[in-house]
Amino acid sequence: MIAIGNFFFKYRNYLFVLFYAALFVPSLPLFSAASCGPSYYGWPIVLGLFITCAGQGIRGLTIGLAYIVRGGKAGKPYAEGLVTEGIFRHCRNPLYVGNILMLLGVGILANSVFYVAVMMPLFLFIYQAIVLAEEDFLRKKFGAGFDNYCSDVNRWWPSLQGLGSTLRSMEFNWKRWILKEHTTQFIWLLGICLLLFAPLPVLRYPELLAGCALPPHRIFAIALALLSLLYALIRILKKTGRFTA
């Protein structure tokens, strides 16, 4: 598993392209009018948005409180130090937990049995392998310090014990959150807009848009323009040094 994890770690950024594209693969629906009634589309939208926002919230808290300076180097696991502060005090892999929830959320939003039943288990297998490879590196570098950390903190399931104390004792760096997460936010919000409004071969939620004054493609065009404008603004401010953490 460690060798598999090292392989996937090297190409982990490209994996998201695959899993992003899989959102738009035709599939049997998770929720349908036959099983949930005429307002069936409310279930995947509400549930999917809640889960993906929870995932982004976990990522945001993690980055805003105590960020890992470097998670990889030359395509291999790397760390300058053992980070055990902030959300890492409650979960060893909070960023990965956030990613899993975000993917699960948009998979439900896509109302796709294929995504939830096939792609998500595959994603979990890949992440488990990556984490085992990272832990192998950390154990070799930090020894007993890492073993002690593992004995106190769960690998995946976040512990809520003492979370309030952690949040009160640290200052949330919202600028760092924006600087580190604006690309992720743009991609995820764009994906949500694509699923809800884009003129795809099959419109996912025609009932939702039936009463709208604007056609779906115009709603999508407006959302895309606003997201792109905001993203470009953040990039410009970052590049010119007028917005720093």
Per-residue pLDDT reduced to its tens digit, 1-51: 888 888 888 888 888 889 989 998 888 888 887 777 767 778 888 999 999
Global pTM value: 0.90
Q: At what angle do helices 120-142 and 144-152 cross, to 10 degrees?
A: 140
pLDDT in tens, 138-196: 999 899 999 999 999 999 999 999 999 998 888 999 999 999 999 999 999 999 988 88
The span from the CA of 74 to the CA of 108, in Å, is 35
CA separation for the pair 56, 101 (Å, rounded): 8
pLDDT at 5: 84
Domains, the chain: 2-170 (1.20.120), 173-245 (no CATH)
- Mean pLDDT value across the chain: 87
- What's the pLDDT at 207? 67
Which residue, among 185, 186, 184, 179, has the nearest Cα to 236 in the 3D structure?
Answer: 179
Token digits of residue 62: 């993690």
Q: What are phi and psi of 124, to 5 degrees?
A: -65, -40
CA-nearest of 110, 10, 131 to 52 is 110
SS3 for 129?
helix
Instruction: Band the pLDDT of 125: cuts 50, 70, 90.
Output: very high
Whole-number CA gyration radius for the chain: 20
Which residues on neighbouring strands pair with residue 72, listed in sequence order?
A: 77
